[in-house]
Every structure is written in structure tokens, then in C-alpha cells.
Amino acid sequence: MESNSNSKRRKTRKLIDLIIWIVGLVIVVGGLIVIGIHLYVGNSKPTIEGEAIVTVLDEDVVVNRDGTGVPHIEAKSDADLYRAQGYVQAQDRLFQMDLARRTASGTLAEVIGQEAVDSDKLFRTFSLRNAAEQSYEAYDEETKQILEWYSEGVNAFINEVNGTSKLSYEFKLLGYQPEAWTPIDSLTIGKYMAYDLGGTWTTQAFNHWALQNFTKEQLKDLLIEDSVEAKSIIEANLENPVKVDGQFNTELLPNEFSGGNSWVVSGEKTENGKPLIANDPHSGLSTPSIWYQMHLESPEQNVSGVIIPGVPGILLGHNETIAWGVTDVGADVQDLYIEIPNPEDPTQFKYDGAWEQAEVRKEPIKVKDGKTIDYEVVETRHGPIISDFINGEENSTSVFSIEWTALEPTSELKAVLTFNKATNWDEFETALADFKAPAQNFVFASTDGTIAYKATGNIPIRKQGDGTFPVPGDSSEYGWEGFIPFDELPTITNPESGYIATANNEIIGDEYPYHITNYWAPSYRYERIVELLESADNLKLGDMQGIQSDKKNLRAESLLPSILTTIKDMDAEGKYQDIITLLEEWELYDNKDAGAPLIFNLLMSEIQDSLFKDAMPEDVYDMMPSKLQLTDRMLKDAYEGSPNVWVEKAGGVEQLVFSSFETTITDIKAKYGTSVSKWKWGSYNKLTFEHPLSNAYDFLATYLNPPKQAVGGSNVTVQAAVEDGNGNVDHGASWRYVADLSDLSNAYHMVAPGQSEHVKSKWYDNQASDWVFGRYHKTKISGELDATYELQLKAE
């Protein structure tokens, strides 16, 4: 008879065998599900080899993709070139294009749901699509035709994939199909670029709030420059307060560090005697990149560079004889007006002693799985009412409207398509006359040796004031009386210095007769670029690449000696000697493996917060302009013996700095341990490329977001690496580019994280590490192309 112990062992073995079988089954089923998902997602990868029928073409077009996924499109006419450009962009970026037009048009909630309603309200209010429609009517017939050709190409791809397994997986996840593309969609995306680079209205809103809530001394110290506003403007702001706090979703506002670096060097300073050019625009870092790199060739043009998906042409890059790049001017191109509504009819507003009827536009917002929201946009003679577009208050006695250059009919696309074919500075500058919004710094180089610079855009001339505060909307004595004439915008050609550099810094001197802005970006990046350009002759292409990755922190060079003196004086017991030594030995480069940048950069953020954060609501603090510059100026003034009321309120400069230092060190130790030698800037500073769908579910973030990487640089270094307050570097150089004018058959680029938006593509995030390590790929426009994949677009 079998013993009880043997029976138990046998039952145990059977149970173990059953568990193993179940676990194995789960693994097999799970594996099959994963394989199924990969096959399902992978099935929508675009066709990049062989043939594709594109019936809108007049003749066949060849698309060669090189090893980094850059499409080289060769067509026999401009008509087919732009059709093919639309088709190819849609192949690689259709979901991004659709999301962009929906965001800018305020139709995102229709496919996303309730969480996108605030965004839709904002962009309906800012009226980008309405401005695009007006701009379209003002365009010449040639540009309209190009927009039509481009739309035909996009729609050829949409028609090819809609209703099939080839439609990109993002549409399937959200449960909708893209609608037909129109020229207005392309122009609306262009208006969104102006929005992202032109967000100066928040400065006036903040100053209006500050005028109501701070003393004269506090307010004066918050202004970058002494305001020259008329007494009547100040009185109007005080007498007609508009609610600011709690009214605006600051998560939807442009990043204060949007901008970039660009410079050109003449042949006098280069090894080969020809100019060099470098450009790296700074914007949000995302998956996919906001830029798409292309090479376009027809009998009429041969141009290469990047463009915003959804738009034809090449915005930044080069052709066979010229090269160009941009940074943001940062001009005051948005003004707020204090509007007084009629108590009997809130759609009427006081103007020169009478009630004037505003335009009321019905903008119903469709919401996925929800009811349509009845929404209205009220537009005065100055522009749309932007107060209370999210958290509305009824019966307001005063509200803000906005006047903005981008809401007028403008023709930037005509400028782009024209300068793509330019052959010299005169032709290029002539084309720039059509580039009205956003205001940009263009740098230029030519194979004939010319280097040049011009600020472009409609920059207002004000009847009164300097754009520091909102102005009364009830009087014709305020407002704009035109724009700075094109021929009087800042311009430089072939300077004696042998170089031109811009980094959103101040570009004018006291003698310039027009107002551009009082809120220039910090000058640290510009000063470092100039320092490097002036320190060497016989410059080469590699030197330009090295400057783009430069991580020297001139802010630390300026402030750290005084800060260290304070820390040493206050640390009587030598508690922080190892940290002091680390800072003293720091060579001032924000390298990812160094510990000192972790201390210094977090300390400066803590000092800034200690000065201002508790003095105002969180959303108002988010809108506060030039916090970095104000912090630096207040520290410098205090160390020179002239502390202001903000520093005194914080206990004086020594107390402010040392208490901020102790808080910073406590936080660092809690996160990274007490061993100072193991602290690294890259442990906190992580390069982040977030996909727009990754916030929906954790598994999507894991699947769609490229892995985060430790990275050097900061918000003041030439290699801009702007983190969000939690160590996520989500803002910086979205494209890097350098070109040697001795040989414009090629140029060097980096578009991170990659060319394709398809997660299964090998070009999805293959350039993310290139961003970290400063690597580039060569893109040719003539000679034997580095073609890896050839796709024939057949006309029949």
C-alpha cells in the first residue's frame, strides 16, 4: 500500500506540472499576442521599395531613401515634385500631420475626447484656422497651385490607406480615419508655428497682474527695462483689472526657451576660404521630431533641408549655391487690449465713447463619446477676446482681447517657395519680404562668399507704449500704426568681424529707432558662440559641429565665484567642504558625468523659486517672463551692494543663497545618495522624446517613447538642454545642421529622434543617441546619392 508521503509527493508533482503547463501556456499565449501586436502594427509600415501607383502624377517620380531615411525626390516638374512631397510626407508622418492640423484648428477633442477640450477652446479662440483661411485668399495663384499639388499628393496616400491595414496604427488606436487634406490645413500648421514662437502676450498679462498685486518697488524690480508706458496706460490697467490667475491653462502656452542658435562665418576665418553656416533651432523634443528632412529636385530647383510635416517646400537648409538658417527674434508681436463690455450686451465693447458690436463666431466643439459643446469666439476690432476662454466668468467688467501679427493675412509660404530657388543674397532678401509671421532672424551664406543676416516679420509700431502692459481698448489713441518697414529691419552683410551669430539675444543697439522687445533671451549662448568664433581662425566644418555641442556654462562663470564665497563664509563648521571642493574644481562645463552641474543648476532653480514662487499663484508664476535673467540680475546687484526688495524679503543675498544651497543639497542627497563623488548631472538630466499618445497608458509610454538618456548641457549652454523641472530634457535642438559653402553638394544634419513616426521603422529613434553624442549624417544633393531604398511612384 502506497505511503501517505509518496502520495503527497505525487500530488505535489502533478500540481507543479500543472502550474508549469499553465505558466507555459500563458507565456505562449502572451508571446502570440505580442507577436500579433507587432505584426498588426508592422503591417502599416510605409512602402519604401518597389513601385506605388500615384494617379495624381503627370509623370513617374523616383524616391530614393538613404541610410538615415531621408527621401530624395526627383521629379520632372515642380507639379509632380510637390505632389510627391505630399505623398512621401504622409507615408512617414501622416498621424503627426493630422494631429497638428487638428490641434491648430481646435478639433482635437473630436478624436481624443474630453481631455482635449481645453486645447480646442484655446486654439478656436486664437483663431489660427480662421487666419489661415484669410491668408489663403491673399496668396498669389502660383502659391495656391503649389498648395493644391501638395494636397493632391497627401490625399493620394490617404485614399490608398484608408479602410486598409496599411493605415497607421495610431489612427486605429483612436478609432478614426484621416479626412482629406486641404491647402488650409497646411497654412494652419504654419500659423501654429507662429503661435509657438510668438507667445509674448503672457508677459503683458503677468505685468497687468503684478501691477494689481505688488508694490511699486516690487514691480519696478520685475521689469527688465524701465517702462516708458504712458501714465494713461498705467491708470487704465489699475482702474480696469482683468482676472489673470486661474484663467489660462499654462500647459498649453509656448515654452519660454523656444529659439535657437545660428551663425555664419566668412571665408576670411575658414580653412578653405569659403563661408561656413550652422543652425540648430530649439523647440519641444518629441516623437516624432517637429522637423522632417527631405531633398527635392526638379528641373527648376535642387533644395535640401527640413520642413514641418504638412507643409510644402524646404523651410531651412540649402540649395546648390546658398544656405540659410533661422532663430526666433522674440519680438513683441502680440498686444493685449483691455476691453470694456456693455453691461446690457456683452458682445458690444466701448470704443471712442460708443458701443461697438463685435463679431461673434459660433465654434461648436465636437467631443468624442460626449456632447458637442456650444462655444463662441468673440472678436473685437483689435482681435479675439482671450479672457475666460477656459474658466469663464460671467458679467466681467473688463476682459482682454489680443492683436497679433499672425492673425492677419500673411504669405510666409510664398517666401519659402521663392527662396528655395534663390541663387544669391539679393534674391533671397527679396523673398524674405513675404515672411511676416513669426518674426525670425535669418542667417545666410553663399558660394560667392557673401554672408548676411536679416530680421524679418511684421513688428508693430505702437501709437503709445512699448508693449510692457495691456493698453486701453476703448480709445483710438492706442494701437498699431503699421509695422517697421522691411528695409529698416536689422540687416548685416559681410561684416568686418568675419562672422554673424544669433541666439535670440538682443540684436539692436540704443541707436535703433524702433521698439522690438525688452525681453530678449539670456545672452549666455550668444556670448559663448562669439567667444569660440573669435578665438580661432582656419575654422572647419568639424569646429561648427563642436560649437553646437558646447556645454560651457557662462552663467556659472559669472555667478559661481560670489556664490562660493557665500557658501564658504556661511559654512563655518566645514560641513560642505567636499561639495565646495567639487564646485571649486569644476571647469564650468555641464557635462553629463560631472557632479558640479547637478549642484549649480538645481541651486539656481531653487534660488529663483525662493525669490518669486511663493509671491504669486502657480499659474501666474508660470507666465512670469524672464525669470532666469531677473534672478541673475538680482544676485549680481546684491553682490555689488545694491540689493532690491525681493532679495531683502528673502533675508539678504547671503541668506537667500545659503538656504537655497542647503535645500538643494538635501534634495540631491535624498535622490542620489550621500556620496558626493557619485553625483552626476546626467543622473537627473535625461533626454526625453515623448510620443503624444504615451500619456494615455503606461504600456504605450514604454512602447512608443525612446529610452531616456543621460545628457549634458542646460538651459544656458550652446547645446541647449532645457528640462521641465523634473529632469526631463524635453526642449532643445530639434534639428542640427552645418554646411560648408566650398561644397554644397552635401550638408550635415541631425533630426532626432528619427525620420519616421512608425515605431517599427529602423528610423524611428536611430538619431536619439546622435543628439547626445553630437553625431551627424551627410545628405547629398548631387553626384552619386547614398541611395539605399528606391521607390518608383508611377503615374498610372
- Other C-beta atoms lying within 10 Å of the C-beta of residue 566: 18
- Of the candidates 574, 796, 689, which has an alpha carbon nearest to the alpha carbon of residue 289? 689
DSSP 636-703: HHHHTT---HHHHHTT-HHHHHHHHHHHHHHHHHHHH-S-GGG--HHHH-EE--B-TTTTT-HHHHHH
Distance CA 479, CA 469 (A): 12
CB 466 within 8 A of CB 519: no
| Alpha helices for 162-261 (secondary structure H) | 169-174, 183-197, 201-213, 216-222, 231-239
Asked if 314 and 779 touch (Cβ cutoff 8 Å), the reply is no
- 3 state SS of 185: helix
* Cross-strand bridge partners of residue 721: 732
Distance CA 668, CA 68 (A): 39
Report the distance separating Cα 82 and Cα 154, nearest Å: 10
User: Which residues neighbour 267 within 8 Å (Cβ) at sequence distance 6 or greater?
Assistant: 273, 274, 275, 449, 741
Residue 597, preceding peptide bond in cis (omega within 30° of 0): no
- Give exposure, 138-166, as e/b (b: 16+ Cβ within 10 Å): ebeeebeebbebbbbbbbbbbebbeeeee
Residues 174 and 187: their CA atoms lie apart, in Å, by 25
Distance between CA 785 and CA 762 in Å, rounded?
Answer: 20
CA dist., res. 530 & res. 540, Å (int): 16
Nearest-angstrom CA–CA distance, 123 and 253: 11
What's the CA gap between 82 and 145, in Å, rounded?
Answer: 10
The position carrying cell 571642493 is: 581
Residue pair 408/384 in contact (Cβ under 8 Å)? The answer is no
CA triple 401-402-403, angle to 5 deg:
130
Q: Which residues are annotated as a binding site for Ca(2+)?
A: 332, 335
Joined grid coordinates for residue 264: 555664419
CA distance linking residue 361 with residue 378, whole number of Å: 6
Who's near 594: CB < 8 A, 6+ residues apart?
A: 586, 680, 681, 712
The answer to whether the beta carbons of residues 324 and 430 sit under 8 Å apart is: no
Binding-site residues, in ranges, read 332, 335
- Locate 225 and state its grid cell: 527695462
- The residue among 288, 200, 96, 138 whose CA lies nearest residue 625 is 200
Whether a cis peptide bond, with omega within 30° of 0, leads into 753 is: yes
493: left (phi over 0), alpha (psi -120 to 50) or beta: beta
Could you give the C-alpha distances from 359 to 347, 400, 484, in angstroms and in order? 8, 15, 29
